[in-house]
Amino acid sequence: MAIQLESKAPSGPIETRWDRHRFGMKLVNPANRRKYKIIVVGTGLAGGAGAASLGEMGYNVLSFCYQDSPRRAHSIAAQGGINAAKNYKNDGDSIHRLFYDTVKGGDFRARESNVHRLAELSVNIIDQCVAQGVPFAREYGGLLDNRSFGGAQVSRTFYARGQTGQQLLLGAYQALARQIEAGTVKSFPRTEMMDLIVVDGVARGVVTRDMVSGKIEAHLADAVVLATGGYGNVFFLSTNAIGCNATAVWRAHRKGAYFANPCFTQIHPTCIPAAGDYQSKLTLMSESLRNDGRVWVPKSAGDCTRDPAEIAEKDRDYYLERLYPSFGNLVPRDIASRRAKMVCDEGRGVGPEVDGVRRGVYLDFRDSIKRLGEAKIRERYGNLFDMYERITGENPYKVPMRIYPATHYTMGGLWVDYNLMTTIPGCFAAGEANFSDHGANRLGASALMQGLADGYFVLPYVLGNYLASAKLDKVDEGHIEVKKAVADVEERIEKLLGIGGDRSPDSFHRELGNIIWNNCGMARNAKGLEGALERIPALREEFWQNLKVTGTGESLNQTLEKAGRLADFMELGELLCRDALARDESCGCHYREEHVTEEGEAARNDADYQYVAAWEYTGDVSKPALHKEALEFEYVKPVQRSYK
Amino acid sequence: MSKTMNLTLHVWRQKGGTDVGGFETYKAQDISEHMSFLEMLDVVNERLLADGKEPIAFDSDCREGICGMCGMVINGVPHGPNAATTTCQLHMRHFNDGDEVTIEPWRASAFPVLRDLVVDRGAFDRIIQAGGYISASSGSAPEANGLPVPKADADRAMDAAACIGCGACVAACPNASAMLFVAAKAAHLGALPQGQPERWERVKKMVAQMDAEGFGHCSNHYECMAACPKEISVDFIAQLNRDLVRATVVEREHEEKSGGAG
Ligand SMILES: Cc1cc2nc3c(=O)[nH]c(=O)nc-3n(C[C@H](O)[C@H](O)[C@H](O)COP(=O)(O)OP(=O)(O)OC[C@H]3O[C@@H](n4cnc5c(N)ncnc54)[C@H](O)[C@@H]3O)c2cc1C
Ligand code: SF4
Ligand code: FES
């Protein structure tokens, strides 16, 4: 049954690949577009922008999200900014440089053709957003301002205060609202996709649950786009919103869509540590804090509970400055994260004990306040300091901040070809839900760019091309596959409600998250992964025997919603560990302790692992089949990173 | 090290839109001062579930004060006692051992209760659909720096655009008016040159939709601004009122120019 992986990436000069590919595409006559129905699941940057653009073209679009309004998709939480190769600062930026930085940043595990297209489209995104009224930061002369972000050597990041994601999403949401008013898009908020409908091997619709009435329904269409975000919540604690889930992509995976590189997950070093075992999510603080804060822990574990102000200079270990004298506190995200874990594992962490370990390191502004004055620090980081104080109750001008890494982004996702189509014809994946552009590590300010590039500028073309070439028979609610998909969803819900056990979904989810975080988080090794691969199926079995859900399926039931999502995370979590075990090298965020350079950094193995791992569901969650898409690098020569 | 407290909660429970609903009393025990208000409710819900009862339904998603999903009236105040703070960002250190806390949903006829503390804010979406946008289809945009925007205008647009659409302004208003929400969107788009072509039509359509949704009228109580977690200024309401007057004049001029509508 295995499908041959065909990337459909064009060849020839990279600068013109997308142009030539577009020219070769089939088009749908404007007068005919209304006859095609397209389902877009998700209203984040990718889905919101995609649904709006397809509506503007005249397609008949159905748009779904689980929140009460499309405006609340998790893209809203992005703070930092969005990259674009505008070169407004005349500092040597170009499409080629953004392309180069992204391929290298991804540690040579992304497809060159896709990344180049992304870099090209970055420029159009900014134009589009400005035209919609996104209030980007400006200089006094009225032109757009930029800053440098995430270690880039050029200033290419556009931003709207600390609310860039919010403003970009509101732009897409307003465009979507305009299409809803125009009647081209029909919006279904508080509606959760529960399964994909596949007829004769082709995606033809989705089964949804109305989250207020509990009604299960089939929606049929000519194509389905999944833009449902990342799966970071498999770790339970992450910087994602509470509701972020993998159900849509996982259900598609079970229906035949290959899942690519699930083990490529990114950990962000500067988050506020968990305060207790009741913690429900983690909050990210901008990395810019590392510009003026110094990271340290006590040299001796015995000092960890002392007032930090009383710990003498000679008893402090500024470990990043010690280990990386030239980059110091500004080492890349993955290195800063791993080192924090190591010192806490040694018992030198600070802050409250959660599950018996103190997981926090100091980020101390004492010296910069002394050097620059409190006013200057307030001007630079006032908002972040206020947010920190609101959450922790501590004043970071007086007491050093405590930070700890947290799961933040998932580079892996549904495998897609250059046309963003999964291995199920007619099923597309966009935004964080696909695997395509960031390889083994995503650079700062590049996810917003990818979501909008996919939504505004790629989906409109690739869908037209698909619809113009596909020969689709008519399918209605009475079709056996449709009825079966609906019945399966109903049965699954009944099953979750009927277990009648003792444990809440949250207690299972915390346990699953702990297993994955400890064995497949910042550092991984074969022994730990093998252990996790025994424990996860056992936990999954307990879940199906001992879960407790009260209430009914015919009403708003948040416990049931959690249980359904968790059931899918229980399976995805296993695949994540399996992929991490199979990838016996280190690359980007995937750090296998067995494969480390002399300096302690990730050691890639290009000879054996320069490929995308695409997993096929075989009917047994524990026995997926691995397919490999070999990666070629014609324009950016693979090199080893060094930050010493 | 950290303080814990015991609280008595009086929580609005309502099974669905047609149910009458009423308060139920719960004990929230051993609550850490470092918990967020919603984490405190998570703990109460875990205990309800353990007892075989249905947990309290409430909305939340980002839990970092930006998505606008959360919101409840805490001791009579939308989003609770802290200024410029959403419910999800309120922490228990602002409460004391032994406190009685009353928790209710937003109360407004335009926001019907769906269950417990969850309300339907679809009316806000329909107001935006009526005209809260700039028409700029994908692909049609000119070069971004071709249109400089004075920094002061861009900053003012951003101040207004910070609205998270939570609905606390409506919940706080004695008339359940949505003026602050509408004014914020009108001011965001109206402050920018891109927003000018549709400016007058936009305010008329959004206000007409607001009225059609059954929101009350603004009688300048300014409770909205006090409750707003993003400190959206009532100055934007004054601007909206001026724009509405101007919109009528523009309409009249337009009709005269085109020979009148009849
Ligand atoms: C705290 C934080 C800060 C960030 N900062 C930055 C930054 O500064 N720059 C940057 O480039 N990136 C940043 N990122 C990453 C970036 O925000 C995301 O990767 C990106 O916004 C994802 O967009 P998306 O459209 O793919 O998905 P999302 O915005 O997550 O949208 C997913 C959509 O799918 C819907 N959905 C999901 N499951 C279902 C289902 N089963 N049924 C129905 N609907 C469903 C949801 O309702 C939602 O509408 C940040 C991420 C976080 C968490
Ligand atoms: S104006 Fe303020 S209170 Fe009203 S919806 Fe916007 S953010 Fe919420
Ligand atoms: S949950 Fe998003 S603002 Fe409170």
Atom of ligand 2 nearest to the CA of B164: 7
Q: In this structure, are A47 and A179 located in the same domain?
A: yes
Could you give the number of structural domains in chain A?
3
| Tens-place pLDDT, residues B42-79 | 999 999 999 999 999 999 999 999 999 999 999 999 99
Residue A623 lies in a domain: no
For an interface test with B, the pick among A181, A554, A557 (most B C-beta atoms closer than 10 Å) comes out as A181
Q: In this structure, are A23 and A159 located in the same domain?
A: yes
Q: In this structure, are A399 and A443 located in the same domain?
A: no
Closest residue CA from atom 5 of ligand 1: A78
Enter the ipTM.
0.97
Task: Quote the tokens at residue A273.
Answer: 């540590």
Residues sharing a CB contact under 8 Å with residue A622, sequence separation 6 or more, in sequence order = A537, A574
- Domain hosting A566: range is 480-604
What's the maximum distance between 2 C-alpha atoms anywhere in chain B?
Answer: 78
User: Quick one: pLDDT at residue B262?
Assistant: 47
SS3 A525: coil
Residues of B in contact with A459 (CB under 8 A): none
Cα(A270)–Cα(A288) distance, integer angstroms? 9
Question: Residue B43: CB within 6 Å of ligand 3?
Answer: no
Secondary structure E strands in A372-426: 401-410, 413-414
Instruction: Compute, in angstroms, the gap from residue A235 CA to the centroid of ligand 3.
Output: 20
R_g over Cα of chain B: 22
Q: Which of B37, B41, B60, B106 to mutate to test the pocket of ligand 3 (most atoms within 8 A of CB)?
A: B60
Please tell me if residue B198 touches chain A, with a CB cutoff of 8 Å. no
Cα(A174)–Cα(B201) distance, integer angstroms? 16
Is it the case that residue B255 has pLDDT exceeding 90? no
Over chain A, what is the mean pLDDT? Answer: 95
Is it the case that residue A344 has pLDDT exceeding 50? yes
Q: For residue A14, give the nearest of A84, A102, A144 by alpha carbon.
A: A102
Is it the case that residue A580 has pLDDT exceeding 60? yes
Is it the case that residue A484 has pLDDT exceeding 60? yes
For an interface test with B, the pick among A54, A68, A86, A556 (most B C-beta atoms closer than 10 Å) comes out as A68
Query: CB neighbours (10 Å) of residue A543?
Result: 22
Atom of ligand 2 nearest to the CA of B71: 8
Question: Residue B68: CB within 6 Å of ligand 3?
Answer: yes
> Measured between CB atoms, which of B33, B150, B189 is closest to A133?
B189
Residues of B in contact with A131 (CB under 8 A): 134, 136, 140-142, 144, 194
Is it the case that residue B261 has pLDDT exceeding 50? no
How sure is the predictor about A2, in pLDDT bands with cuts at 50, 70 and 90? low
Q: For residue A231, give the nearest of A355, A487, A359, A412 by alpha carbon.
A: A412
More confident residue, B255 or B41: B41
> Does A173 sit within 8 Å of B141, measured CB to CB?
no
How sure is the predictor about A643, in pLDDT bands with cuts at 50, 70 and 90? low
Is it the case that residue A427 has pLDDT exceeding 60? yes
How sure is the predictor about B223, in pLDDT bands with cuts at 50, 70 and 90? very high
φ, ψ for residue A589, nearest 5 deg: -80, -10
Question: Residue B168: CB within 6 Å of ligand 2?
Answer: yes
CATH of the domain at A292: 3.90.700.10
**Which listed residue (A109, A333, A442, A578) is catalytic?**
A333
CA–CA min distance A582, chain B (Å): 34
Interchain CB contacts (distance < 8 Å): A and B: 226
Residue A9 lies in a domain: no
Q: For residue A407, give the nearest of A385, A390, A432 by alpha carbon.
A: A432
State percent of chain A over pLDDT 90: 91
Over chain B, what is the mean pLDDT? Answer: 95
Among A587, A604, A621, the domain-final residue is A604
Over range B196-218, report the average pLDDT.
Answer: 97
Asked if A20 is an active-site residue, the reply is no
Residues of A in contact with B142 (CB under 8 A): 127, 131
Q: For residue A272, give the nearest of A385, A439, A183 by alpha carbon.
A: A385
Is it the case that residue A69 has pLDDT exceeding 70? yes
Determine the residue type at B240.
L
User: Quick one: pLDDT at residue A494?
Assistant: 98
Please tell me if residue B66 touches chain A, with a CB cutoff of 8 Å. yes
Nearest CA in chain A to B85: A390
* Contact between residue A176 and residue A185 where contact means Cβ atoms under 8 Å apart: yes
Q: In this structure, are A490 and A452 located in the same domain?
A: no
Residue A615 lies in a domain: no
Q: Please report how many Cα atoms fall inside a 13 Å half-sphere around the Cα of residue B45, on the Cβ side.
A: 26
Over range A539-564, report the average pLDDT.
Answer: 98
CATH of the domain at A156: 3.50.50.60
| Tens-place pLDDT, residues A527-548 | 999 999 999 999 999 999 999 9
* Contact between residue A274 and residue A404 where contact means Cβ atoms under 8 Å apart: yes
> Does B133 sit within 8 Å of A160, measured CB to CB?
no
Cα(A308)–Cα(A347) distance, integer angstroms? 16
* Contact between residue B216 and residue B173 where contact means Cβ atoms under 8 Å apart: yes
Domain limits, chain B: 4-115, 122-257
Cα(A628)–Cα(A557) distance, integer angstroms? 41
Question: Residue B67: CB within 6 Å of ligand 3?
Answer: yes
Relative to beta strand A265-271, strand A60-64 is unpaired
Q: In this structure, are A136 and A148 located in the same domain?
A: yes
Task: Quote the tokens at residue B202.
Answer: 């936009």
> Measured between CB atoms, which of A129, A135, A276 is closest to B154?
A135
* Contact between residue B180 and residue B172 where contact means Cβ atoms under 8 Å apart: no
Cα(A525)–Cα(A441) distance, integer angstroms? 19
Q: In this structure, are A487 and A450 located in the same domain?
A: no
> Does A178 sit within 8 Å of B194, measured CB to CB?
no
Instruction: Compute, in angstroms, the gap from residue A518 CA to the centroid of ligand 1.
Output: 25
Relative to beta strand A60-64, strand A185-188 is parallel
Cα(A65)–Cα(A45) distance, integer angstroms? 12
* Contact between residue A534 and residue A528 where contact means Cβ atoms under 8 Å apart: no
Determine the residue type at A437.
D
Among A382, A407, A432, the domain-final residue is A407
Is it the case that residue A503 has pLDDT exceeding 90? yes
User: Quick one: pLDDT at residue A211?
Assistant: 98
Is it the case that residue B229 has pLDDT exceeding 80? yes
Q: Which residue's entry shows tokens 């047994």?
A: A620
* Contact between residue A95 and residue A123 where contact means Cβ atoms under 8 Å apart: yes
Name beta bridge partners: A259. A414, A615
Nearest CA in chain A to B83: A390
Question: Residue B39: CB within 6 Å of ligand 3?
Answer: no
Question: Residue A410: CB within 6 Å of ligand 1?
Answer: no
Name beta bridge partners: B78. B73
> Does B60 sit within 8 Å of A242, measured CB to CB?
yes
* Contact between residue B138 and residue A124 where contact means Cβ atoms under 8 Å apart: no
Residue A617 lies in a domain: no
Is it the case that residue A608 has pLDDT exceeding 90? yes
How sure is the predictor about B254, in pLDDT bands with cuts at 50, 70 and 90? confident
* Contact between residue B6 and residue B29 where contact means Cβ atoms under 8 Å apart: yes
Name beta bridge partners: A61. A38, A185
- The ligand placed nearest to the CA atom of residue A238 is 1
Residue A194 lies in a domain: yes
Cα(B62)–Cα(B229) distance, integer angstroms? 15
Is it the case that residue A355 has pLDDT exceeding 80? yes
Atom of ligand 1 nearest to the CA of A70: 49
Determine the residue type at A256.
G
What fold characterizes domain B122-257?
Fumarate Reductase Iron-sulfur Protein; Chain B, domain 2 (1.10.1060)
Q: In this structure, are A254 and A285 located in the same domain?
A: no
Query: Could you give the strand order of the β-sheet that contains B4-13, starting from the edge strand earlier in sequence?
Result: B22-32, B4-13, B100-104, B73-74, B77-78
Q: In this structure, are A258 and A289 located in the same domain?
A: no
Cα(A341)–Cα(A325) distance, integer angstroms? 19
Q: In this structure, are A253 and A283 located in the same domain?
A: no
SS3 A408: strand
User: Quick one: pLDDT at residue B1?
Assistant: 53
Q: Which of A43, A66, A74 to mutate to test the pocket of ligand 1 (most atoms within 8 A of CB)?
A: A74
Q: In this structure, are A85 and A195 located in the same domain?
A: yes
| Tens-place pLDDT, residues A261-312 | 999 999 999 999 999 999 999 999 988 898 899 999 999 999 999 999 999 9
Q: In this structure, are A503 and A576 located in the same domain?
A: yes
| Tens-place pLDDT, residues B171-186 | 999 999 999 999 999 9
| Tens-place pLDDT, residues A93-137 | 999 999 999 999 999 999 999 999 999 999 999 999 999 999 999
User: Quick one: pLDDT at residue A391?
Assistant: 94
> Does A67 sit within 8 Å of B67, measured CB to CB?
yes
Given CATH 3.10.20.30, say whether it is the number of domain B4-115: yes
Is it the case that residue B157 has pLDDT exceeding 90? yes
Angle at A466 between CA A465 and CA A468, to 5 degrees: 65
Residues sharing a CB contact under 8 Å with residue A580, sequence separation 6 or more, in sequence order = A263, A520, A524, A529, A590, A592
For an interface test with A, the pick among B29, B38, B64 (most A C-beta atoms closer than 10 Å) comes out as B64
Tell me if domain B4-115 and domain B122-257 are identical in fold: no
| Tens-place pLDDT, residues A234-275 | 999 999 999 999 999 999 999 999 999 999 999 999 999 999
Question: Residue B127: CB within 6 Å of ligand 2?
Answer: no
Q: In this structure, are A27 and A145 located in the same domain?
A: yes
Determine the residue type at B250.
V
Question: Residue B60: CB within 6 Å of ligand 3?
Answer: yes
Is it the case that residue A644 has pLDDT exceeding 70? no
Cα(B184)–Cα(B157) distance, integer angstroms? 9
Relative to beta strand A357-358, strand A265-271 is unpaired
Over range A197-223, report the average pLDDT.
Answer: 98
Residue A6 lies in a domain: no
More confident residue, A87 or A639: A87
Residue A344 lies in a domain: yes
Cα(A423)–Cα(A416) distance, integer angstroms? 7
